């Protein structure tokens, strides 16, 4: 999972990046230049720790998430031709966005618009993303009309189907709605899979608050989006502490959950993701798949050979294994079951894939 941290200048993107990654990137102004910092971090999951205690493997591997702190996005940075190529390339590679919106007031960190207005700032960058997608859709529409007129390639019915789809996209964007408001069928999803439209990606809006500041009322009701208030500076400082020190300060400041855990959990929900596990003496490992993934899809996540030669999956839920205490007891109690290719993997399932290649 790759999540791009975006927002206007001085919104606190790098502060949040440091909080999420326990990093120490400088939080000074980038001067509007395009810059990207990335970091890969473990997805916090106490279930992995508990399984590791049970199996005592030689290696324990958590699921991973990549954060990209994308600087240089300003209101008006997208021209009538869309975002510059390097910027668009980075944005389109992300699975989702964390949109940091400034709510704190700090005279020593001047707001680029002169005053703090979270609703305005949120809408400003959203408008840039909408405009960029509209430009891409219109370009594709022109190419499709040329292809239909010239002929000699694909079937006309296939081209016309794409024309109809892109007319639908254009109509939504013209209404200033993100493309994630559209319900698409499997064929339409397949057609659009390679385009990387920005407004199709899930968005977690982080309201970056000052210490003790209440969260403002924000109007933001789009599908596959959510808002979460965080005290970015405080979270960054907590991330630099030892677990014992952090627990003490969290209690003092009333922070119930560190931003790393909260942001990942909400991101998983928005993107429709879940975790399953493989266990053994060699390794206990967490894997990430989409909700509703079949057993053979999960096998392919581990290795393509397991999907190709899939026979059966041995499955037990995390809760059942913990309650019973061992795989041997799970077999004895009939809780370890065999499932076929079409079994829908559940969050927390522990899988052992039987295969033959």
Q: Identify the bridge partners of residue 155 per DSSP, sorted by sequence position.
A: none
* Structure tokens belonging to residue 232: 């970015």
Quick check: 197 and 83 in contact, CB under 8 A?
no
Distance CA 68, CA 165 (A): 31
Is the CATH number of domain 292-355 3.90.1150.10? no
Burial class (CB in 10 A: 0-12, 13-18, 19+), 226: middle
Q: Of 331, 352, 356, 333, give the one whose Cα is nearest residue 343.
A: 352
Query: pTM above the 0.85 mark?
Result: yes
Q: Quick one: pLDDT at residue 243?
A: 83
| Strand order from edge to edge, sheet including 337-339 | 59-61, 283-290, 273-278, 349-355, 310-317, 337-339
Q: Which residues of the chain have pLDDT under 50?
A: 78
Q: Quick one: pLDDT at residue 261?
A: 84
| Structural domain boundaries in the chain | 292-355
Q: Of 67, 76, 66, 92, give the one whose Cα is nearest residue 9.
A: 76
Quick check: 216 and 103 in contact, CB under 8 A?
yes
Backbone angles phi, psi at 4, to 5 degrees: -95, 125
Q: Of 215, 203, 69, 231, give the one whose Cα is nearest residue 123.
A: 203
Burial class (CB in 10 A: 0-12, 13-18, 19+), 175: exposed
Distance CA 117, CA 111 (A): 9
Q: Is the dihedral of CA 90, 94, 96, 102 positive or negative?
A: negative
Distance CA 228, CA 233 (A): 15
Q: Quick one: pLDDT at residue 203?
A: 95
Q: Quick one: pLDDT at residue 76?
A: 54
Q: Quick one: pLDDT at residue 84?
A: 81
Distance CA 78, CA 87 (A): 10
Q: How far apart are the first and last CA of the chain?
A: 29
Q: Quick one: pLDDT at residue 317?
A: 96
């Amino acid at each position: 999972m790759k999540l791009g941290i975006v927002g206007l200048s001085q919104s606190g993107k790098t502060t949040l990046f440091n909080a999420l990654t326990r990093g120490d990137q400088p939080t000074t102004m980038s001067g509007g230049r395009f810059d990207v910092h990335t970091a890969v971090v473990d997805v916090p999951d106490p279930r992995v720790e508990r399984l590791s205690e049970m199996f005592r493997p030689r290696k324990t591997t958590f699921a991973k998430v990549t954060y990209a702190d994308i600087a240089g996005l300003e209101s008006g940075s997208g021209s009538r031709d869309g975002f510059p190529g390097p910027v668009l390339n980075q944005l389109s590679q992300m699975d989702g966005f964390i949109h940091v919106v400034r709510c704190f007031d700090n005279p020593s960190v001047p707001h680029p618009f002169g005053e703090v207005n979270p609703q305005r700032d949120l809408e400003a960058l959203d408008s840039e993303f909408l405009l960029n997608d509209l430009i891409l859709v219109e370009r594709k529409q022109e190419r499709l009309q040329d292809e239909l007129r010239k002929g000699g390639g694909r079937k006309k019915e296939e081209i016309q189907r794409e024309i109809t789809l892109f007319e639908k996209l254009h109509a939504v964007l013209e209404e200033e709605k993100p493309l994630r408001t559209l319900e698409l069928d499997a064929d339409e999803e397949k057609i659009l899979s390679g385009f990387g439209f920005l407004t199709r990606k899930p968005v977690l809006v982080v309201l970056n608050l000052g210490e003790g500041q209440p969260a403002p009322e924000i109007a933001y009701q789009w599908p596959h989006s959510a808002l979460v208030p965080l005290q970015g500076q405080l979270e960054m400082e907590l991330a630099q502490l030892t677990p014992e020190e952090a627990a003490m300060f969290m209690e003092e400041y009333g922070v119930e959950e560190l931003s790393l855990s909260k942001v990942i959990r909400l991101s998983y929900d928005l993107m429709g993701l879940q975790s399953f596990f493989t266990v053994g003496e060699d390794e206990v490992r967490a894997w990430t798949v989409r909700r509703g993934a079949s057993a053979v899809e999960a096998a392919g996540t581990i290795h393509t050979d397991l999907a190709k030669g899939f026979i059966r999956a041995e499955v037990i839920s995390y809760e059942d294994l913990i309650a019973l205490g061992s795989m041997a007891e799970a077999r004895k109690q009939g809780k370890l079951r065999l499932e076929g290719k079409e079994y829908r993997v559940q969050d927390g399932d522990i899988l052992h894939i039987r295969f033959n290649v």
